[in-house]
Structure 1
Amino acid sequence: MTTTAAAPPVVAPPRRKRSRIEQRGWLFVAPFAIVFALVFLAPLIYSLWLSLFRDQLVGGNAFVGFDNYIAAFTDPKFWDGFVRVLGFLVVQVPIMLLLALGAALAIDSARLRAKSFNRIIIFLPYAVPAVVAVLMWGYIYGDQFGLAGNINDLLGSTFLAPLSSQWIMLSIGNIVTWEFVGYNMLIFYSSLKTIPGDLYEAASIDGAGDWRTIFSIKLPALRGSLVIATIFSIIGSFQLFNEPNILKPLATNVISTYFTPNMYAYNLSFAGQQYNYAATVAIIMGVITAIIAYVVQLRGSRQEV
């Protein structure tokens, strides 16, 4: 009868050696931690601190607790801008992601020629600085001096009015879509290139056609990328600022100072000198954006499982 020898006990490393390893780890992390604290945590804490105060005629900058938040939640200007960007998100983001998805699938297709050229052409608008892109589209939209105005003069009508109140959100959505389709396309295309070739060979052997391959192989592989692109797009929609702010001189009567929450916070701070209330609006928008992005990420993770 044979007996099995007991496994030797696991000897823990000496406490002094373990502390040295931990110190080295903290030394490696320290540069990032310092920068993170200075550029993220410190401004966030300072904004929270500002939001708890208010400049008053009597007493100066006084502590008011959550009064600024109560005022923001009952502010019609804040909710007007919020509803506007929420509607912008619901309409623009799906259209942009569908266009980017279609472009990625087309470039990944074996039937498309000049893939590199098409990929660069679609991605090129993202390389254009946002200010330049908005100015360029502003000159196109101008009904007094731009392309829209020239077409109206040619037709003898005023039909084209991209900067009117009826069309301004569609015009801004067109600019944002033009800018970021290429960016999202590159995310989707990178995910498609990670799909093993064995799956395509197996699908070909089983007699799967192009559409079957897309729905059974490519789209499931893109689920994680779709979640990431959706989160980025949601954050970008709630941060809408450059496009309406640059177009404002061309559409003064249409784009107000509270057209979006970010514009509202910006004008409160730099034009109205209401730094405390501006910080409050910024924090509320940051919390709302984080919650919605987290919900999207959570639902996407559940679907992957």
Structure 2
Amino acid sequence: MRTKAAPWLFAAPAIVFFVLFLVLPIGYTIYLSFRGFHIEGGGAFGRRVEAFVGLDNYHATLTDAEFLAGFGRVLLYGIVSIPTVLGLALLFALLLDTPRVRARGFARTAIFLPYAVPGVIASLMWGFLYLPSTSPINYLAERLHAGPLDFFSEPVLYFSLANIALWSGVGFNMIIIYTSLRAIPSTVYEAARLDGASEVQIAWRIKIPLVAPALVLTGLFSVIGTLQLYNEPATVRPMTSTISRSWSPLMEIYEEAFAGDNLGGAAASSVVLALGILVISLLLLRFLQRRTFGGNA
């Protein structure tokens, strides 16, 4: 009995935290998504009563033009940010993995260090760098008669927000790819060099194909993070009128829950967003596995 119970006892703390902080919140969110408020009694004496509303909240979410437009804006942001972040992360990882690179430890730490800066602080810092009144970039542009520059105008706004994502995303993804590169046996590279392969050929024909699983993982994380975009636009929103309160789906959910006092609608929108992320992640993972590992994946 002790032998059978021991694994469950060791796993019990993790199971308890998993249920308390994941299963129960998800269950309560789904419950709230079927609830809503209506006025009971009418007139001056009407009461606001919570009741079961069926699929009304989901219908309102799926027909909300602003909520759907938020997905379009996030899609444009992802087209700019995801390839840039992953491309730079792969480039830095390959450069750090070359045999003659100097100060490898310092460079690795310097590239990863911005990831330790909270996203809100990074967004505030870049927001002030974008503001015409405080931006040194604008100051130099005006002195060169090339300004002022408006970093919050469309479509420049998407590049400005993507630049904030570079601040932390590159270092995090670079560490994942670099760790995968270090796991490749050095004998593979030695054999390629004996065959006359250059470092560029080794990187393109050996390293990149062998770290494909790491690229799939970082790509999936980037897509999920893009669909959950909130910190960057919400932090710089007070600095510009270009970003509305419902610019991204998560911002719309926040406004609906706390500004509109519509927890049922916000819960339904959260469920729709979560299901959308799940479906997109599964489809993308399946597609990348087939392209990377062949038809038997």
Q: Same fold (TM over 0.5)?
A: yes
Q: Does the 8 Å contact 2:80/2:159 carry over to 1?
A: no
| One of 72, 78, 81 as aligned partner of 2:70 | 81
Q: Give the superposition deviation at 1:149.
A: 4.1
Residue in structure 1 matched with residue 277 of structure 2 by the alignment = 289
Deviating 4+ runs (over 6 angstroms): none
Corresponding residue for residue 39 of structure 1: 21
Match of 1:274?
A: 262
CA shift in 2, pair 1:162/1:196, >3 Å: same
> Aligned equivalents of 1:158 and 1:109: distance in 2?
41
- In the TM superposition, what is the alpha-carbon distance from 1:177 to its structure 2 partner? 1.4
Whose Rg is larger? 1
Partner amino acid for 2:17?
Answer: V
What's the counterpart of residue 56 of structure 1?
38
CA shift digits 1:154-197 (9 cap, x unpaired): 34564411122332111001110122101111111000000001
Instruction: Output the TM-score relative to the length of structure 2.
Output: 0.91
Find the counterpart in structure 2 of residue 256 from structure 1.
244
The answer for the alignment partner of 1:23 in structure 2 is 5
Question: Is the 2:142–2:148 Cα contact (8 Å) retained in structure 1?
Answer: no
* Superposition pairs of residues 174-253 of structure 1, within 5 angstroms: 174-251=163-240, 253=241
Answer whether contact 1:231 1:297 (CA < 8 A) is retained: yes
Alpha-carbon distance in 1 for matches of 2:103, 2:283? 39
- Tell me, yes or no, if structure 1 residue 105 matches structure 2 residue 87: no
Structure 2 residue runs without a partner (length 5+): 41-47
Sort the Cα spacing of 1:264 and 1:202 in 2 relative to 1 into closer, same or farther, 3 A: same
Instruction: Name the residue aligned to 2:43.
Output: none
**Preserved contact between residue 268 and residue 275 of structure 1 (Cα < 8 Å):** yes
Offset of 1:122 from its aligned partner?
A: 1.2
Give 1:115's aligned residue.
Answer: 104
Alignment size in residue pairs = 286
1:57 alignment partner, SS class? strand
Letter in 2 for 1:139: F
Mark the CA change 1:23 to 1:133 in structure 2 (over 3 Å): closer, same or farther. same
Residues 129 and 135, structure 2, Cα contact 8 Å, conserved in 1: yes
Task: Using the TM superposition, give the Cα deviation of residue 20 of structure 1 relative to its aligned residue in structure 2, in angstroms.
Answer: 4.6
Q: For 2:36, what is the secondary structure of its paired residue?
A: strand
Q: Secondary structure at the match of 2:51?
A: strand
TM-score by length of 1: 0.89
RMSD of aligned C-alpha atoms? 1.7
Distance 1:86 1:166 in 2: 13
